[in-house]
Chains A and B, each alone.
Chain A
């Protein structure tokens, strides 16, 4: 599903302040796997996720997701790839505070060309899966941290992506909500989704449905 070959990411390349965020990353994650990227802050986890999400481009190397070469996608196609193929759950949720839950969940489908009735139906199903449907008309800025996270998950799932990327999803949650989030991940794993979670939360290390844990240090994949 996800293949990275000799990927580098260098910020400020060519200048005296060049910084190698990722070095020689070779990685393959099969379809249906749940992989954890673990490592301390600054190890390159979020950078790696942003490259797989085509939010950024590598400095060199090849990234293939679902058979599609995404490391060279022009911006227009990168946007279409993000809108159709992946769902992302961000550390700080990145919800639109002026909108309610349902409206936030609908946002990824705005340019889908689907009729509004179909879009609302898809949003309702996604909110149900994320157990946030009872807050559909609630403004996002009035939600708790756990509820915001569930809203973010509903938004990430609304277009039924095969690949779900989570960047420090439990960083702003208490333990109870973190465990609820992990339950949701297990449900998604059961649905056959490919999931990559970047986290340094120890809760994720011994989960039974996790296929593998990838340790990162100073931009490289290291053996534990």
Chain B
């Protein structure tokens, strides 16, 4: 365990997380106080102080959330680097499965990423108004996010302090390999049906987003995210590794694959977030945004094209598919 905690990446990561959590803890107490006493219609000294303080607190939350978003790829980079210390691990897949906290921690981080993005969007429209219309909503959302962040912080500590360096872990081919076939795929799909569904859902997401069918676009986007994970791991990833048995979401983050995993997963997550963000803003706040839709489409299309390009290039080079 000591080698894990004393590695440079883990020290930087845990130190950063601790500082950011401390700042958010302070923001949390201020937000609770603000929620209890906020009354925009009052012109009392207390309300003026609250308004000044809310600007400061929201600014702190804003910067901390941005930094937290940047810490997520660093977390992935950290666990990938730890694979050198964890026996049996060839990449982050093995390290994440080194104890029972890893998978939960990663999923929690992605949930926090999306909620933080939603908070940032809400903050942006609140700051454009003159009468702080969303202060209460922002504050409640932050409190919910903070509960998740507290769980994340605890899980961070548990995870890194429980990574063993004596017992070997499973490598990605064991974790994700299912001996051929579609055993690991959802809804009983096989690979070809999975890929057809992948492209259909992409088209559905694009069409419903551009057509303004908000609720359907939310559903399509979330389903596309879910299916994309399996499509990348069980199909497109094999073309990145040029090996049909190499199934792994983490190996593509390494330097011998030119870190393309960061672009693939990053564009998928960003595209999904902006799609959901534009839908939420339009549906709940009556603020449709063509700009958010365009950004989403840009990232989702980049994701689909990049994944498809690996298949296309392999076929052009070899004349066959894997």
Q: Is A60 an interface residue (CB 8 A)?
A: yes
- Indicate if the CB atoms of B55 and A74 lie closer than 8 Å: yes
CA distance in complex: A74, B48 (Å): 11
Q: Is A28 an interface residue (CB 8 A)?
A: no
- Indicate if the CB atoms of B45 and A74 lie closer than 8 Å: no
**CB-nearest residue of chain A relative to B43?**
A62
Q: Is B40 an interface residue (CB 8 A)?
A: yes
Within residues 112 to 148 of chain B, which ones have a CB less than 8 A from any CB in chain A? 127-128, 130-132
- Indicate if the CB atoms of A74 and B43 lie closer than 8 Å: no
Within residues 158 to 175 of chain A, which ones have a CB less than 8 A from any CB in chain B? none
- Indicate if the CB atoms of B130 and A77 lie closer than 8 Å: yes
For B51, the chain A residues whose CB sits under 8 A away are 72
For A61, the chain B residues whose CB sits under 8 A away are 43
Q: Is B2 an interface residue (CB 8 A)?
A: no
- Indicate if the CB atoms of B130 and A73 lie closer than 8 Å: yes
Measured CB to CB, the closest approach of chain A to B135, in angstroms, equals 11
For B52, the chain A residues whose CB sits under 8 A away are 57
CA distance in complex: A59, B130 (Å): 18
For A76, the chain B residues whose CB sits under 8 A away are 127-128
For A77, the chain B residues whose CB sits under 8 A away are 130
Q: Mark A8-22, 1 if CB is under 8 A from B, else 0.
A: 101001000000000
Q: Mark B21-65, 1 if CB is under 8 A from A, else 0.
A: 000000000000000000010011100100110010000000000
Measured CB to CB, the closest approach of chain B to A14, in angstroms, equals 9
Size class of the A contact interface (CB-based, 8 Å): 10 to 19
CA distance in complex: A138, B177 (Å): 78
- Indicate if the CB atoms of A60 and B131 lie closer than 8 Å: no
CA distance in complex: A76, B58 (Å): 14
For B132, the chain A residues whose CB sits under 8 A away are 74
Q: Is A39 an interface residue (CB 8 A)?
A: no
CA distance in complex: A110, B45 (Å): 35
- Indicate if the CB atoms of A6 and B55 lie closer than 8 Å: no
- Indicate if the CB atoms of A8 and B127 lie closer than 8 Å: no
Q: Is A71 an interface residue (CB 8 A)?
A: yes
For A205, the chain B residues whose CB sits under 8 A away are none
- Indicate if the CB atoms of A57 and B48 lie closer than 8 Å: yes
For B40, the chain A residues whose CB sits under 8 A away are 72
For A6, the chain B residues whose CB sits under 8 A away are 43
- Indicate if the CB atoms of A8 and B55 lie closer than 8 Å: no
Measured CB to CB, the closest approach of chain B to A182, in angstroms, equals 36
For A62, the chain B residues whose CB sits under 8 A away are 43
Jot down 16 A-B pairs with beta carbons below 8 A, ordered by A.
A5-B43, A6-B43, A8-B45, A13-B45, A57-B48, A57-B52, A58-B48, A59-B45, A60-B48, A61-B43, A62-B43, A69-B130, A71-B48, A72-B130, A75-B55, A77-B130
* Chain B interfacial positions (CB closer than 8 Å to A): 40, 43-45, 48, 51-52, 55, 127-128, 130-132
